[in-house]
Amino acid sequence: MNEKIKPTDNYYLYSHEFDQIKSFVIFFDDLIYNYELLTKMKYILKKYKRFEKAENDDDIFDREYRYSAFVLYVSAFYSARTFKAIRPHYQFLCRGNSTVSTRVACEDHEPMFLESVQMYFDKAAKISGVSPKTISHMEAPDCMLKVTFPIEVDDKVEIITGYRVHHSRHLLPVKGGIRFSPEVEEQEVTALAALMTYKCAIVDVPFGGAKGGISVDPSKYTIAELERITRRYTVELCQKAFIGPGTDVPAPDVGTGPREMSWIMDTYRQFHPNDVDSIGCVTGKPIPLGGVRGRNEATGLGVFYGIREFISYPEVQKHTGLSGNIKDLSIIIQGFGKVGYWAAKFFEKNGAKIIGIGEKECGVYNSNGLNVDELFKYRLSNGSLHGAPNVEIIEDPLQILDLECDVLIPAALERQIGLRNADKIKAKIIGEAANGPTTPLANEILLKKGILIIPDLLLNAGGVTVSYFEWLKNLSHMRFGRMTRKWDELGKSQLVELVERNVGHKLSDTEKEQIVHGADESDLVYSGLEDTMIRACMETRKTSISKEVDYRTAAFVNAIEKIAAVYEGSGMMFMN
């Protein structure tokens, strides 16, 4: 029962808060608190002046050291120059929930997703050379929206909870996906939003970082129900100014795709009928609704470009013993959704052998190689990989990660490689297509084992890169290549004719077509993405070599330095 206890004039504690204080006092390092609670505590402290008074009223502060710990903590909180300096207002988020999927690989004491991102960030911040003031400003999330709304399902009312977090608005709009999944809660969305900030910086996409989500399992709802949930959530975003082509531009993530993006765009347009740029309020839309060619496959293609780039580096070949040739790679992918499927497709198309695919119900394995499209179609029509032809079924979904391969690509969810399985991983390279698949403690083990990790914030940045292209297309109201394609073709065919005349040799129609072909939208998107990924990988490699750190730390350092340049260059208004 949640009773009111210890009433003062205006302030009181609820019994669950009382328990929280108790936990805090007992486990000083394992804080469970929130900002509202601390405000109440402050007034209670004021009221009683001397804390012993409270001590007499109950028996929780009965030991001197607990009392000191408490006073120490409260004074640290209030003497901090800014909230951000000691993170009190969001640290409580680190104690988020986890589902079986995000718990099974981890020991209980391992940090949750948000804390993991903070740990990676802290490590890089220390060697970045950016001032602590800027670092604390950069790290804390700018604002969080939590909404609840009712939806009628099967004659019953369900209360749905949704979130949108703006991690950093140093550049606008902010950008980040919307996730529909049971894992969605504050700390997960905040961690994902933070990663978006750093990711955008790494690939020079001029956006701040955001993320959103609704805590639902989409497979449990009809399409009509999902549409109502999506539209209702968008109404909340519209009302609270958490969406718009100049403020916040969502995109697909786990459990969402072009269909949901269309509903979001359509709902936004009802609220902004005169906004000529309203179509740019969300990316990942279908082509007829303003989407850009190449967005569906962008994240998986970026994963392909990134891994291809790293295995071309001589030091990586020396370290892993890999040849640098895609055709020689054996690959295992966990998560056969949008990202996992497309990554598998591009590796298969370029000659690599996909030997294992893991899904939540089971994994499939064939050392001679799997047929990606066949399996994808099979799962689509059967709802499971169980019973798929020409494969060995691996019942434990997590076990696919332990199998021998050259490259392991986690492309499902966070916290898939933790202390319980890090030691078993045999891959030479881990390409993190999912966000946050490796916990910091597992990361250390993998690095010690000599496994090379290409980190999420770099490797899966292809999605936001092409989302940026889509947003640019929406603001320009024109398909890429529309004004230039024919003109380029004309110029090139005149050049070819000139060369043919001079050398006295005619090219075949196919040869001519290959040279003359003017770039259309997908050509431009693919080449823009390839260039972006190669450049970001090269920058990460350079920092890794110069600072003698792993690729994850190097990627964070690069992100931190680029973001700091914006913060410091713009003067950090009202901070001092």
Peptide bond into 440 cis (omega under 30): no
Element (H, E) at 381: helix 372-382
Shortest separation between residue 31's beta carbon and ligand NAD, angstroms: 28
Beta strand 208-214 pairing with 330-334 = unpaired
Shortest separation between residue 200's beta carbon and ligand NAD, angstroms: 12
Closest to ligand NAD by CB, 20 vs 187, is 187
Catalytic-residue membership of 211: yes
**How many other CB atoms are found less than 10 A from the CB of residue 388?**
20
Q: Cβ distance 198 to 553 under 8 Å? A: no
The site for ligand NAD (CB under 6 A) is made up of 101, 177, 252-255, 299, 334-340, 358-360, 397, 411-413, 433-435, 460, 463
Closest to ligand NAD by CB, 190 vs 299, is 299
Sheet holding 208-214, edge to edge: 143-153, 156-168, 208-214, 174-180, 248-252
Closest-by-Cβ residue to ligand NAD is 337
Closest to ligand NAD by CB, 310 vs 336, is 336
Nearest by Cα to 207 from 420, 469, 503:
469
Closest to ligand NAD by CB, 104 vs 565, is 104
Shortest separation between residue 482's beta carbon and ligand NAD, angstroms: 25
Closest to ligand NAD by CB, 88 vs 410, is 410
**Mapped to the 3 state alphabet, what secondary structure does 463-503 carry?**
HHHHHHHHHHHHHHCCCCCCCCHHHHHHHHHHHHHHHHHHH
Closest to ligand NAD by CB, 411 vs 446, is 411
Shortest separation between residue 332's beta carbon and ligand NAD, angstroms: 12
Shortest separation between residue 146's beta carbon and ligand NAD, angstroms: 20
List 211, 345, 428, 473, catalytic entry: 211
Beta strand 353-358 pairing with 330-334 = parallel
Shortest separation between residue 397's beta carbon and ligand NAD, angstroms: 5
Nearest by Cα to 176 from 245, 237, 252:
252
**How many other CB atoms are found less than 10 A from the CB of residue 267?**
21
Closest to ligand NAD by CB, 20 vs 435, is 435
Closest to ligand NAD by CB, 175 vs 485, is 175
Angstrom distance (rounded) from CA 182 to CA 192? 15
Q: Is 324 left (phi over 0), alpha (psi -120 to 50) or beta?
A: left
Q: Tokens standing for 420?
A: 């319980």
Apex 525 CA angle, 436 and 277, nearest 5 = 90
Angstrom distance (rounded) from CA 298 to CA 338? 10
Q: Please list, in sequence order, all residues whose beta carbon lies within 8 angstroms of the beta carbon of residue 362, skipping any fewer than 6 positions away.
A: 384, 385, 386, 393, 394, 395, 396, 397
Angstrom distance (rounded) from CA 531 to CA 534? 5
Shortest separation between residue 492's beta carbon and ligand NAD, angstroms: 34
CA distances to 368, 378, 542 from 387, rounded to whole Å, are 18, 9, 46
Q: Please list, in sequence order, all residues whose beta carbon lies within 8 angstroms of the beta carbon of residue 455, skipping any fewer than 6 positions away.
A: 432, 551, 552, 555
Shortest separation between residue 313's beta carbon and ligand NAD, angstroms: 23
Shortest separation between residue 242's beta carbon and ligand NAD, angstroms: 19
Burial grade of 354 (CB within 10 A; 0-12, 13-18, 19 or more):
buried
Closest to ligand NAD by CB, 33 vs 347, is 347
Which residues are marked as active site?
Answer: 211
